[in-house]
């Protein structure tokens, strides 16, 4: 789904990852973890596809982590921006803790 020229950005970090290969490498090396560590729930932000993000904490609960906004085009996703602000989850109307 990622275009070959896709970019991955994350606030508050100032750098970004250019190209699908770097995006996938960064996610694999620094983000993904083990299955079940993350939960994403689809929503929209300013008319763009987005998701609120939950991350598993040390106690095993899924806690609000932030939001991801995608720039979707006819040829795939060209940009992924992760906003590292747990308060955004409530702004989108979702709870701070994800209940199964």
Between 8-17, 34-43, 72-81, the lowest mean confidence (pLDDT) is in 8-17
| C-beta of residue 76 within 8 angstroms of C-beta of residue 6 | yes
**Prediction pTM value:** 0.88
pLDDT score of 12: 81
Cα 39-42-44 angle, rounded to 5 deg: 140
Mean pLDDT, the chain, rounded, equals 93
φ/ψ (deg, to 5) at 50: -150, 175
């Amino acid at each position: 789904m990622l275009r070959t020229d896709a970019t991955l950005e994350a606030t508050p970090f100032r750098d970004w990852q250019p190209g699908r290969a770097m995006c996938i490498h960064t996610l694999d090396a620094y983000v993904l973890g083990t299955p079940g560590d993350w939960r994403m729930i689809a929503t929209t932000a300013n008319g763009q596809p987005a998701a609120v993000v939950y991350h598993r904490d040390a106690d095993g609960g899924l806690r609000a982590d932030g939001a991801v906004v995608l720039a979707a085009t006819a040829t795939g996703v060209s940009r992924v921006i992760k906003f590292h602000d747990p308060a955004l989850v409530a702004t989108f109307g979702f709870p701070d803790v994800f209940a199964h």
